[in-house]
Amino acid sequence: MVEIFEPHAIEKRSMEIITEELNGRTWPEPQFSIIRRCIHTSADFDYADNLRFSPDAEKIGVKLLRNGCNIVTDTKMAFAGINKNRLEAYGGKAYCFISDKDVIEEAKERGCTRATVAMEKGGKLEGPTIFAIGNAPTALIELDNLIKQKKIEPALIIGVPVGFVNVVESKELIMRSGVPYIVAEGRKGGSNIAATICNAMLYYNGEI
């Protein structure tokens, strides 16, 4: 029998179902909120096992967002999915440079991906920056290169590209990079998951 819910109650009931189906498994907050929202977005309980957090990464992310940091995404889809009203209320701003004319032209000239050039451009922003990568392994590879060259120091990397080519390897690079990270190990992820992780930290209102 179909249950009828008021719109505001649908998410609440969904989270209740997720919690029930986790069969008592819990994580310290705000990790638990991030994991549940990723499951809610995807209906995929694998995120209970494949999300990896560097020490205190989720707390670092919440603090950064509450203090008005930048978010740079690799896709317009991830950019669109971030709650920019909430982000801007904290004084932060989201950016996606992937379709900028200068990025497109430089990528053609250099024979590299637009994601590579977009990460370089994002690294020039002033202030702490979270990089939320849901599609392009080359974005993670370039971030790792820039970190090694000491050209950038990301405040946090959300590394959740989805796919088959260099996806697993690029995530492993980030987990060895020495910067705070939230990574979905393996092939799963996506722009929606990158945005979801950002939103989960934006929506978290507990103490840190």
SS (H, E, C) 147-158: HHCCCCCCCEEE
Nearest to 19, CA basis, from 31, 7, 36, 5: 36
Q: Decide if 40 is catalytic.
A: yes
Dist CA 92 CA 171 (whole Å): 26
Dist CA 138 CA 74 (whole Å): 10
What's the N-to-C CA distance of the chain in angstroms?
41
Choose, from 27, 29, 40, 107, the residue flagged as catalytic. 40
CB burial of 59-89 (b: ≥16 within 10 Å; e: otherwise) equals bbbbbbbbeebbbbbbbebbbebbeeeebee
Residues near 3 by beta carbon (within 8 Å), at least 6 away in sequence = none
Give catalytic residue positions: 40
